[in-house]
Amino acid sequence: MSAPTPILEVRDAVKHFDGLRAVAGASFDVARGSITALIGPNGAGKTTMLDLLSGFARLDAGAIRLANRSIAGMAPHQIARLGLVRTFQLTRVLAGISVLDNMLLAAPRQPGEHIPSLLASPRLARQREARARLAAEELLETFGLRLKAADYAGSLSGGERKLLEIARALMTESSIVLLDEPMAGVSPRLGRSILDRIAILRQERGTTFLFVEHDMDAVMSRADKVVVMAQGRVIATGTPAEIRADSMVVEAYLGGLAGERVP
Amino acid sequence: MSVDFWINVGVLAGIYGIFTLGLQLNAGFTGLLNFGQAGFMAIGAYSVGIFVVSWGLPLWLAFLLAVALAVAAGMLVGISALRLRSHHFAIATIGFAEIVRYTLQNAEFSGGNQGLIGFDDDWRSVNEWALSKLASVELDAYTQLPLLLAIWATFLVLLVTMELLQRTPWARVLRGIREDEDATAALGKNTFSYKLQSLGIAAALAAIAGFFVSLNITYLYPTVFDPTFTFFGYAILVLGGLGSYTGVALGSIIFWVLLEGTRLMETSLSAGQQSSLRFVIVGLSLILLSRLRPQGILGNRNELRAEP
Asked if B173 and A113 count as a contact pair (C-beta separation under 8 A), the reply is yes
- In this predicted model, what pLDDT tens digit does every residue of A24-77 receive, in sequence order? 999 999 999 999 999 998 889 999 999 999 999 999 999 999 999 999 999 999
- In this predicted model, what pLDDT tens digit does every residue of B188-218 receive, in sequence order? 999 999 999 999 999 999 999 999 999 998 8
Q: How confident is the model at residue B167 (pLDDT cuts 50, 70, 90)?
A: very high
- In this predicted model, what pLDDT tens digit does every residue of A131-178 receive, in sequence order? 999 999 999 998 999 999 999 999 999 889 999 999 999 999 999 999
pLDDT at B1: 53
- Map out the domains of chain A with their CATH numbers: 8-93+173-257 (3.40.50.300), 95-155 (no CATH)
pLDDT at B218: 86
Asked if B110 and B103 count as a contact pair (C-beta separation under 8 A), the reply is yes
Contacting A residues, span 57-76, partner chain B, CB-CB under 8 Å: 75-76
Q: How confident is the model at residue B139 (pLDDT cuts 50, 70, 90)?
A: confident
**pLDDT at position B306 over 60:** no
Interstrand relation of B116-117 and B219-220 (parallel, antiparallel or unpaired) = antiparallel
Which residues fall within 8 angstroms of residue B183, CB to CB, at 6 or more apart? A88, A92, A93, A94, B176
- Tell me, yes or no, if A243 comes closer than 8 A to chain B by beta carbon: no
**pLDDT at position A240 over 90:** yes
Q: How much is the ipTM here?
A: 0.90
pLDDT at B276: 86
Per-residue three-class SS string for chain A:
CCCCCCCEEEEEEEEEECCEEEEEEEEEEECCCCEEEEECCCCCCHHHHHHHHHCCCCCCEEEEEECCEECCCCCHHHHHHCCEEECCCCCCCCCCCEHHHHHHHCCCCCHHHCHHHHHHCHHHHHHHHHHHHHHHHHHHHHCCCHHHCCCEHHHCCHHHHHHHHHHHHHHCCCCEEEEECCCCCCCHHHHHHHHHHHHHHHHHHCCEEEEECCCHHHHHHHCCEEEEEECCEEEEEECHHHHHHCHHHHHHHHHHHCCCCCC
pLDDT at A254: 57
- Tell me, yes or no, if B190 comes closer than 8 A to chain A by beta carbon: yes
Distance CA B104, CA B225 (A): 10
Reported as half-sphere exposure (CB side, CA atoms, 13 A), residue A133 has a value of: 10
Which of B182, B191, B305 lies nearest to residue A96, judging by beta carbons?
Answer: B305
Average of per-residue pLDDT across A106-111: 93
pLDDT at A2: 54
**pLDDT at position A260 over 60:** no
pLDDT at B87: 86
- In this predicted model, what pLDDT tens digit does every residue of B260-296 receive, in sequence order? 888 887 778 888 888 888 888 888 988 888 888 888 8
- In this predicted model, what pLDDT tens digit does every residue of A179-227 receive, in sequence order? 999 988 888 888 888 888 899 989 999 999 999 998 888 889 999 999 9
- Tell me, yes or no, if A92 comes closer than 8 A to chain B by beta carbon: yes
Asked if A83 and A33 count as a contact pair (C-beta separation under 8 A), the reply is no
Best CA proximity match to A50, nearest among A202, A188, A180, A234: A180
Distance CA A73, CA A52 (A): 9
pLDDT at B85: 79
> B2-23 and B37-53 helices cross at what angle (nearest 10)?
110
Sketch the domain layout of chain B as residue ranges.
2-226
Query: Which residues of chain A does B241 touch, with a Cβ-Cβ cutoff of 8 Å?
Result: none
